[in-house]
Amino acid sequence: MRKIDEPRRGILRGLLASLGAAALAGCDAASRSSWFPKVLKRAESLSHGAHRLVTAHQPLVQEFTRADLSADFRSNGTANPGTDIYKSLAANHFADWSLRVDGLVGNPAQFTLAQLRAMRSRTQITRHDCVEGWSAIGEWTGVPLSELLALVQPKDNAKYVVFHCADPLGGEQSFYYESIDFDDAYHPQTILAYQLNGQELPIKNGAPLRLRVERQLGYKHAKYLMHIELVDDLARIAGGKGGFWEDRGYEWYAGI
Ligand SMILES: Nc1nc2c(c(=O)[nH]1)N[C@H]1C(S)=C(S)[C@@H](COP(=O)(O)O)O[C@H]1N2
Ligand SMILES: [Mo]
């Protein structure tokens, strides 16, 4: 039988799980040899689907109860983007805001807040850890990033999800941005949050929409989302290191 290399074996395992053991039970050696190359071919074209299946079963980070909530979820970094565009969006309660999702996708799309709110939601009480030495526990509600990705259909060469934000933290042309890989993108606790502690997301915490990527440190949790871009390489974006703080020396991988 053909040798399978390690990364592909992981993908194949996910695919096999989805096909179900029953389908495999009746295979004799002869049929397996004609069936096997077909599965490999399909695994390649389905690599994001298979990846999603595998990643969806990764362990969750600890979740807390309402009794554990921090009295105030403090703001860090930008507390208000303050640009003319952001001010006019906020003045209209973000009714004119929409999230663009494009790049290496089969089906580029734009989502209004109302559309995001109508999608499947997840609520989670988690602890946020900032490298500056503080933590806070908050209850976040939002749409799983995996739901959005299923709609836009990532191309097989897409390797990272990049989050472009509304705040020019580094001066006029230097907007906050972040990026994650698909292990984090498909993780069940990775959501685009529009609520904090059951209320509309406050401006100080990233209104109208912010990323929660719970296995990562605070700076990965991009606030004030405007645009999500799927790419195969981070080198072409801003300073090339995958994030506003990464371009200034922080580690790209900030996870557990
Ligand atoms: N757009 C944007 N996202 C951001 C930041 C920022 O300044 N701008 N700061 C990051 C850092 S360092 C932390 S700790 C958290 C803070 O989130 P909070 O303001 O809700 O506490 O947001 C992260 N995401
Ligand atoms: Mo932070």
Show the domains of the chain with their CATH numbers.
Answer: 6-248 (3.90.420.10)
Select from 135, 175, 221, 225 the residue to mutate for testing ligand 1; criterion: most ligand atoms less than 8 Å from CB: 221
User: Is there a contact between 236 and 229 (Cβ–Cβ < 8 Å)?
Assistant: no
- Residues 6 or more apart in contact with residue 252 via CB below 8 angstroms: 179, 234, 241, 242, 243, 246
Read off the amino acid at residue 105. Answer: V
Ligand nearest to the CA of 169: 1
Residue 256 confidence class, pLDDT cut points 50, 70, 90: confident
Tell me: pLDDT of 103 over 60. Answer: yes
What is the 228 CA–ligand 1 centroid distance (Å)?
17
pLDDT of residue 51: 86
Closest atom of ligand 1 to CA, residue 218:
14
Select from 131, 223, 244 the residue to mutate for testing ligand 1; criterion: most ligand atoms less than 8 Å from CB: 223
Q: What is the mean pLDDT of the chain?
A: 87
3-26 average pLDDT score? 40
What is the 85 CA–ligand 2 centroid distance (Å)?
25
CA geometry: angle at 179 spanning 176 and 185, to 5°?
A: 135
Residue-wise pLDDT tens digits, 124-164: 999 999 999 999 999 999 999 999 999 999 999 999 999 99
Closest residue by CA, ligand 1 atom 9? 77
User: Is there a contact between 145 and 185 (Cβ–Cβ < 8 Å)?
Assistant: yes
What is the 202 CA–ligand 1 centroid distance (Å)?
13
Tell me: pLDDT of 42 over 50. Answer: no
- Residues 6 or more apart in contact with residue 135 via CB below 8 angstroms: 127, 128, 129
Tell me: pLDDT of 9 over 70. Answer: no
What is the 188 CA–ligand 1 centroid distance (Å)?
21
Residue 52 confidence class, pLDDT cut points 50, 70, 90: confident
Closest residue by CA, ligand 1 atom 8? 78
Percent of the chain with pLDDT over 70: 82
